[in-house]
Chains A and B, each alone.
Chain A
Amino acid sequence: MSFFNSRYHRQIILPEIGTSGQDKLTASKVLIIGAGGLGCPVLQYLTAAGVGTIGIIDFDVVEISNLHRQVLYGESAVGKNKAQAAKTRLTDLNPTIAIHAYPEKLTTKNALSLFSAYDIIVDGTDNFSTRYLVNDACVITCKPLVYAAIFKYQGQVSVFNYQNGPTYRCLFPEPPKAGSVPSCAEIGVLGVLPGIIGSMQANEVLKIILGLGTVLNGTLLMYDSQTTQSSTFSISRVASEISKVLDQAKDFETIDYDLFCGIKKISEITAKDAFLIKNAQFIDVREAHEQPKIESLDSANIPLDKLGQELSTIDKEKEIIIFCQSGIRSKKAVEIFLKHGFVNVSHVKGGAVALYEIIPDLTDYRNL
């Protein structure tokens, strides 16, 4: 028996796996997003099982408070990038496979090309922005997504976008209000919980690769470590949710998921405060014929539907203040600016009407 076969002997002798199953594992490529509480057990078991190519993306560094649950790391890894520290440990565990560490943040810029190079994506992230980003990138690149998330003593696991099944958005179309769902850092977690849930994710990955059993496709599993009970719920594919993602696939790189999840807010200022900002660039996104005109205000008129073409003419360094008639179009305009990398952008509450009303006092403000 070869060295290779001895390593995997105990799984190869399972009649459902055999050497052909092992060959499937060797040929498969799995990308794990986040090498934290969930990512560590996933990485450990997939590496040990001989998944031929493993990718790890994580920009974060190992902290001492991670060690009680992120069991790949020891004290020697504290301060090191998680993707690289995980690769070091995993290479020792199984040097016969290819392990790629990406010590960077997953963004809309790198997600599609990265996902395209793998067969299965595993979500081990800890925030909603990245979860929606991962889901949408999986939809666009047609990759199955092995999902899990935890809260205190409970975990949820599912497999999305597999065999024409539902996606994360079919389960949760809208993100929860920002700050309403706490993270492990805020409320704590017992280390073994991500160990259990991450192992379930690893199991789903192996089932997909090996064609074993029933994959949690279209099924949400809820596990409670306090009662040791698990419950499953069926989820249906919602075609309109998937179309939404595919319809904006060509603009994927410009989607701001922090904005979508309410982490980044559209800033709104009052007409009075708007005038107090020195050297601000005012932009009127109304159509040219709309009244009232704010003659005394030095502003550029770029109607909302022309904004996309005119963005390059606007100075990114300046503070930008947008207004329309009532505040609806200006809010959309702020979103467009934020998507295109502008940072200091706000819009006027109450729009042109509010600005017009305080013009009699304008001289006083300007002289402040």
Chain B
Amino acid sequence: MQLTIRYFGMLAEATAITEEQLQTEACSVSQLLEKLKIQYPKLSGKDFKVAINQQLVAHNHIINTEAEVALLPPFAGG
């Protein structure tokens, strides 16, 4: 399954990319995150929400089709 992953804010710094195409067997958000945290250890310990196809979802959300996954951290600045 092909996913497009988008990293926002400090998550793009943790992964050193803003976007990537990923071929993965992960079928839930939590499985996907486990894999990403192995690939990008700096993602561990970061707080963020996940959106699939522009819709915020819970970590038990099932991913079974091609999708765009966005990792959205909170920002503090003003």
- A residues sitting closer than 8 Å to B (CB atoms) are 34, 36-39, 123-128, 131, 148-152, 154-156, 171-172, 174-177, 180-184, 189, 194, 220, 222, 224, 227, 231-236
A180-B46, A180-B47 known; A233-B75 Cβ under 8 A: no
A172-B49, A222-B8 known; A149-B75 Cβ under 8 A: yes
**Contact indicator B78/A234 (Cβ below 8 Å):** no
Contact with A along B52-78 (1 / 0, CB 8 A): 001110000000000000101111111
**B11 → chain A, closest Cβ, in Å?**
10
**Contact indicator A151/B72 (Cβ below 8 Å):** no
Q: Which residues from chain A contact B10 at a C-beta distance below 8 Å?
A: 151, 181-182
- Name the contact of B76 in the complex, choosing from A36, A174, A181, A227 (C-beta under 8 A): A181
**Contact indicator A174/B54 (Cβ below 8 Å):** no
Q: Which residues from chain B contact A235 at a C-beta distance below 8 Å?
A: 56
**Contact indicator A233/B74 (Cβ below 8 Å):** no
A154-B9, A234-B55 known; A176-B73 Cβ under 8 A: yes
Known contacts A149-B75, A149-B78, A171-B56, then 4 further A-B pairs from the complex at CB < 8 Å, ordered by chain A residue: A175-B74, A176-B73, A180-B46, A182-B10
Q: Which residues from chain A contact B78 at a C-beta distance below 8 Å?
A: 34, 36-39, 123-126, 148-150, 184, 194
Q: Chain B: which residue is nearest A170 at the CB level?
A: B56
User: How far is B5's CA from A130's CA once the two chains are assembled, in angstroms?
Assistant: 31
Q: Size class of B's contact patch?
A: 20 to 34
Q: List 19 A-B contacts (CB under 8 A).
A: A38-B78, A123-B78, A125-B78, A131-B76, A149-B75, A150-B75, A150-B78, A151-B76, A151-B77, A154-B8, A154-B9, A155-B75, A171-B56, A184-B77, A224-B8, A233-B70, A233-B72, A235-B56, A236-B56
Q: Which residues from chain B contact A152 at a C-beta distance below 8 Å?
A: 9
**A226 → chain B, closest Cβ, in Å?**
9
User: How far is B9's CA from A231's CA once the two chains are assembled, in angstroms?
Assistant: 13
Q: Which residues from chain B contact A177 at a C-beta distance below 8 Å?
A: 45, 47
- Name the contact of A233 in the complex, choosing from B18, B47, B55, B73 (C-beta under 8 A): B55
User: How far is B53's CA from A23's CA once the two chains are assembled, in angstroms?
Assistant: 41
B51 contacts partner chain A, Cβ-Cβ < 8 Å? yes
- Name the contact of A222 in the complex, choosing from B45, B47, B72, B77 (C-beta under 8 A): B72
Which of B8, B51, B56, B78 has the most chain A CB within a 10 Å cutoff? B78
User: How far is B51's CA from A234's CA once the two chains are assembled, in angstroms?
Assistant: 8
**Contact indicator A220/B72 (Cβ below 8 Å):** yes
User: How far is B55's CA from A232's CA once the two chains are assembled, in angstroms?
Assistant: 9
Chain B 16-60 interface residues, beta-carbon cutoff 8 Å to A: 18, 45-47, 49, 51, 54-56
Q: Which residues from chain B contact A125 at a C-beta distance below 8 Å?
A: 78
**Contact indicator B77/A233 (Cβ below 8 Å):** no
A154-B9, A177-B45 known; A128-B74 Cβ under 8 A: yes
Q: Chain B: which residue is nearest A174 at the CB level?
A: B47
**B68 → chain A, closest Cβ, in Å?**
9
**Contact indicator A37/B72 (Cβ below 8 Å):** no
User: How far is B70's CA from A152's CA once the two chains are assembled, in angstroms?
Assistant: 18
